[in-house]
């Protein structure tokens, strides 16, 4: 039976490096695995009054349905001011509302990211750890992928064109699929 990974990119920029990494990851998943790319673009800022008055917004219900159907999650995070992008954290916060919190428990999750800086997304990836612990995910920590100096590795449309980075991404995805997803079988 085929496995499915929900891939989420934490940038709203159309040609973002992280959107490009997620597209490349979808191309590089091994046979028997599909990577479905979700979108956080239409998730509103969290507002408890909105939730109480209207329930979960449609974009959040879509993400929750994708989360529920997925065997694992790949978070592709930018790093803004040495931390998690607010828009990305906001989407995950919404996804954990209502029935969503239970959908995260035990779900295999991996985190990668690309940045124009010299340290990749090291700080943002570290900042995800308390969030993922709170959600009680099965965090896959066997590998770590931080792509630095991304401006030299992607084309103008945000596509990952650097062979070495694509090879590292392929190895990471293979590890997550063969060991990370299997730990939840």
DSSP class of residue 80? B
Specify which residues 83 forms β-bridges with. Answer: 80
Alpha carbon 46 to chain centroid distance? 19
Q: What angle do CA 36, 22, 135 make, to 5 degrees?
A: 70
Mapping DSSP to helix (H, G, I), strand (E, B) and coil, where does residue 76 land?
Answer: strand
Residues in CB range of 45: below 8 A, 6 or more apart: 90
Domain of residue 88, residue span: 3-184
Angstrom distance (rounded) from CA 141 to CA 53: 39
Q: What are phi and psi of 141, to 5 degrees?
A: -115, 15
pLDDT at 26: 98
- Give the CATH number, domain containing residue 31: 3.40.50.360
pLDDT at 183: 62
Q: Count the domains in the chain.
A: 1
pTM reported for the whole predicted model: 0.96
- Digit-by-digit pLDDT tens for the chain (185 residues) are 799 999 999 999 989 999 999 999 999 999 999 999 999 999 999 999 999 999 999 999 999 999 999 999 999 999 999 999 999 999 999 999 999 999 999 999 999 999 999 989 999 999 999 999 999 999 999 989 999 999 999 999 999 999 999 999 999 999 999 999 986 65
Q: What are phi and psi of 44, to 5 degrees?
A: -75, 165
């Amino acid at each position: 039976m085929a496995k499915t990974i929900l891939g989420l990119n934490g940038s709203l920029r159309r040609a973002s490096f992280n959107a490009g990494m997620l597209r490349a990851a979808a191309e590089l998943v091994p046979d028997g695995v599909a990577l479905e790319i979700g979108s956080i673009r239409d998730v509103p800022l969290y507002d408890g009054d909105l939730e109480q008055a209207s329930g979960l917004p449609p974009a959040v219900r879509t993400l929750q349905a994708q989360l529920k159907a997925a065997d694992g999650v790949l978070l592709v995070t930018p790093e803004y001011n040495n931390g998690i992008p607010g828009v990305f954290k906001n989407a995950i916060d919404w996804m954990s509302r209502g029935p969503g919190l239970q959908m995260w428990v035990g779900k295999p999750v991996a985190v990668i990211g690309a940045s124009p800086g010299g340290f990749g997304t090291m700080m943002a990836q570290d900042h995800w750890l308390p969030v993922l612990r709170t959600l009680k995910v099965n965090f896959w920590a066997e590998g770590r992928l931080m792509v630095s100096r991304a401006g030299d590795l992607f084309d103008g449309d945000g596509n990952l064109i650097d062979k070495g980075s694509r090879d590292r991404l392929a190895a990471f995805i293979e590890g997550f699929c063969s060991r990370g997803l299997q730990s939840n079988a």
